[in-house]
Structure 1
């Protein structure tokens, strides 16, 4: 395909998926989608291969959506008609826990299937235990939606809608967010058809093949430029309750085939806490780590992801087996890049970063308003410091590797009876080095209520801070305090009205000798 024509069409496609994502953010009910951007949007060809992603979203959602879109397209092949909309939150098929619901809209043009538009977002509520790690198995964690048609021939599936409404605490918010996903999918489909008409295309098959094949070739060529061999990295971190998790990654570079194989053999086994990770999510953050170091300017799609393969023993903490609890899977999943980057540091030291705080600290609050009306907050996140780079300090209070933003405290205070007493940088918490690690932050709050309330908080790295690289020092460990008393807890806690909560998130590791 002519290079200029391809660039014009590619720019149009990126515009379509990015506009779809922005429409989804503007219409979503959940603050974590609307304010923090905890979402993914993508365009798929008729075979379910992701062609393009929006320029906003999280790696865990985007790369998991790539897998979910292909799975749903294969499952419903030859069973789709105009007006159908597919849905699932099956953790092993999509993004790793029930809160993330994937919606895939088939795009028909003159009764011909020409592609799909998909989205995955974090929903406010899915019933069950909530966002914490205290459930004992997957069935305590909420509503499990298998791959189904949410809409059939343009009409809502009434049984499925009723099931969802009856199984969640905030049905208007959940169904409102689903409506936002459906609307953004339809808008994306209309824009795709308009592009085909404008460009004189019968479908997007040739265009998709050109984009995917070029993306794959560029990624394989970037891998071939590296030395062949196997390198090892290991990260250890504590989770609430004192459990220490070990992630080991063997990164093999095959520069004949242009492939990278990441093997997590030797990593910790399954945890009794809901922090286990399914392979889709492990693969998502593994591919993100490699592509960030190799060719981040290349499109992220089916082709650029294909040369990166990920393996882990079935049943280990990063390849969870049924019925492991998964709701707080990000607590381990967001550490997946760390041992990979340590291994790649031995090959391309100038392109990696030191360990950062890892998983964002997630918080969910449940209680009653002064009116007596029950509320469940959307999950909101607090980041620590990023690890330092070879030639630059690590950014402070930055959500790496997820990339979500923090929900503004004004939004939270408007949505529920929470009062923030402090929010400031935790000065000096980043590790020293030639390049200093980013600082964490301090967040203090209490609830303006006369009733007991429930706190789901999932901190990590409370005992040992992030490692430095090349002689850089560790970042400071985090602290979780209630009324000045240090806690290490991941289960839902019943709080008194007067209780005061304080988080001090970890600092990032330093890089190089000072």
Structure 2
């Protein structure tokens, strides 16, 4: 395909998925979607290969969505679909790893045949069950499991499914508001793709998809082939809400001739009894992110650029969760997946990696009734620690690396829920020392204005040991989680009194290189 023509069409595709994401954020009910961007939008070809993704989104959602389209279409074959159909699931092993993340997939028809699909995954406010947290003992305690079904069939809502969803969640208006935003954004993407085809005289996007995917794969394999061949190891250790220490061990094998990278998690911790187990798709999402962001972050992220990266893990492993393991707080471990990979890659590309950061964002969910008696359930709101330092730059402070999700502004939360923040500031000096310093964590304090008891789900990590520095850099400071001034480290939902105050100090990032 002519290079100029390809660039024009590629720009059109990026505009389509970015408009899809903007529409989703504008219409969504939940602050975690609208303000924090905890979502993914992608465009797929007729063979369900991800061709383009929106610039807004998180690696855990985007790279899981890349696999989800094929998973959904194995359950409901394309030949059975018709215009107006919309597919849905929150199956953890088919999409993004826990019940709160619902994937919606819309087939795009042109002249009576499917030419592609547009998909989205977002974090919903509530899905029934335990709520955001790690206290469930198996997956069936964690909420409503939606198998692959048609949310709409021929443009008509699936009344039975809608009724089931409405009766199984605490805040149905928020759930259906966000689902409506997903469906509407899919329709926009379908309309825009058809308009692009009209504008450039295309019957479908197969030739365009082949060109983009082939070029992306070739460029990724070329970048891998320029690294030294061999196997390198990396390991990260961190504590989780139950107090247990989790180890993630990776062996990263670079095959220069084939242009492949294989990441093996043999030697990592076994399954956990609490809901921090990670399904393979989510592990793959953050593992591929670590490699892609190190090698060639400027390349499109699609089926082709992901293909040369293989991820394997033993069956009895915390990052290869098997049914019925609880997975609700899978991000607590999943967001640490990049760090042992980056430590292994530091042996071959030290100038491109970052030191360990604070890891998983600290997620908070509040539930209760306001002073008028109206029930409220917040979606999770996130607080990050410091990012690890880079070879030539300090780490960023209070940044959600590696997830990329933003923090919901305190003003938005205080307007939406009966919550009052008592402090929110940087925790100066918590980043590790070094030639380049690690980023600082932050201090957050809050209490409720509901006037009655309320429930708190909080999922901190790294309360015992801070992130490791790299190449002689100092470690970042561990975090602190206190209620009424007393340290807390539990993996269950807590009943709180009206005047209770929560204080969190998130960890700092590791430093890079020895200080002069």
How far apart, CA to CA, are the structure 2 residues paired with 1:240 and 1:126? Answer: 22
Q: TM-score, normalised by structure 2?
A: 0.99
What's the Cα RMSD here? 0.6
- 1:99-248 alignment runs, 5 A limit: 99-248=100-249
Kept in 2: contact 1:459–1:490 (CA 8 A): no
Q: For 1:128-161, what per-residue CA distance to the aligned partner results, in whole angstroms no more than 9, with x for missing partners?
A: 0000000000000000001111111111110011
How far apart, CA to CA, are the structure 2 residues paired with 1:450 and 1:10? Answer: 54
Cα offset, 1:38, TM superposition: 0.2
Q: Which residue of 1 aligns with 2:95?
A: 94
Q: Which residue of 2 aligns with 1:376?
A: 377
- Residue 56 of structure 1 aligns to a residue in which SS? coil
Q: For 1:73-96, what per-residue CA distance to the aligned partner results, in whole angstroms no more than 9, with x for missing partners?
A: 333231111110000000000000
Q: For 1:41-72, what per-residue CA distance to the aligned partner results, in whole angstroms no more than 9, with x for missing partners?
A: 00000110000000110000000000001222
- Residue 5 of structure 1 aligns to a residue in which SS? helix
Q: Which residue of 1 aligns with 2:80?
A: 79
Kept in 2: contact 1:48–1:71 (CA 8 A): no
Kept in 2: contact 1:363–1:381 (CA 8 A): yes
- Residue 164 of structure 2 aligns to a residue in which SS? helix
Q: Answer yes or no: is 1:433 the counterpart of 2:434.
A: yes
Q: Runs in 1 of length 4+ with deviation above 4 angstroms?
A: none
Q: Which residue of 1 aligns with 2:456?
A: 455
Q: Which residue of 2 aligns with 1:252?
A: 253
How far apart, CA to CA, are the structure 2 residues paired with 1:381 and 1:88? Answer: 24
Q: Answer yes or no: is 1:31 the counterpart of 2:31.
A: yes
Cα offset, 1:378, TM superposition: 1.2
How far apart, CA to CA, are the structure 1 residues paired with 2:315 and 2:202? Answer: 44
Q: Which residue of 1 aligns with 2:44?
A: 44
Q: For 1:333-361, what per-residue CA distance to the aligned partner results, in whole angstroms no more than 9, with x for missing partners?
A: 00000000000000000000000000000
Cα offset, 1:274, TM superposition: 0.3
Cα offset, 1:172, TM superposition: 0.6
Q: For 1:458-494, what per-residue CA distance to the aligned partner results, in whole angstroms no more than 9, with x for missing partners?
A: 0000000000001000000000000100111221000
Q: For 1:218-240, what per-residue CA distance to the aligned partner results, in whole angstroms no more than 9, with x for missing partners?
A: 00000000110000000000011
- Residue 40 of structure 2 aligns to a residue in which SS? strand
How far apart, CA to CA, are the structure 2 residues paired with 1:433 and 1:61? Answer: 33
Cα offset, 1:449, TM superposition: 2.2
How far apart, CA to CA, are the structure 2 residues paired with 1:284 and 1:70? Answer: 15
Q: Which residue of 1 aligns with 2:473?
A: 472
How far apart, CA to CA, are the structure 2 residues paired with 1:378 and 1:274? Answer: 17
Q: Answer yes or no: is 1:508 the counterpart of 2:509.
A: yes
Q: For 1:285-340, what per-residue CA distance to the aligned partner results, in whole angstroms no more than 9, with x for missing partners?
A: 00000000101000000000000000001131000000000000000000000000
Structure 1: runs of 5+ lacking an equivalent: none
Q: Which residue of 2 aligns with 1:261?
A: 262
- Residue 342 of structure 1 aligns to a residue in which SS? helix
Q: Answer yes or no: is 1:443 the counterpart of 2:441.
A: no
Q: Which residue of 2 aligns with 1:18?
A: 18
Q: TM-score, normalised by structure 1?
A: 1.00
How far apart, CA to CA, are the structure 2 residues paired with 1:53 and 1:200? Answer: 23
Kept in 2: contact 1:468–1:511 (CA 8 A): yes
Kept in 2: contact 1:48–1:74 (CA 8 A): no
Kept in 2: contact 1:264–1:312 (CA 8 A): yes
- Residue 407 of structure 1 aligns to a residue in which SS? coil
- 1:300-339 alignment runs, 5 A limit: 300-339=301-340
How far apart, CA to CA, are the structure 1 residues paired with 2:336 and 2:454? Answer: 30
Kept in 2: contact 1:134–1:492 (CA 8 A): yes
Q: Answer yes or no: is 1:284 the counterpart of 2:285.
A: yes
Cα offset, 1:242, TM superposition: 1.2
Q: Which residue of 2 aligns with 1:409?
A: 410
Q: Which residue of 2 aligns with 1:488?
A: 489
- Residue 78 of structure 1 aligns to a residue in which SS? helix
Kept in 2: contact 1:47–1:73 (CA 8 A): no
Kept in 2: contact 1:47–1:74 (CA 8 A): no
Would you say how many aligned residue pairs link Structure 1 and Structure 2? 514
Q: For 1:191-231, what per-residue CA distance to the aligned partner results, in whole angstroms no more than 9, with x for missing partners?
A: 00000010110100100011001100000000000110000
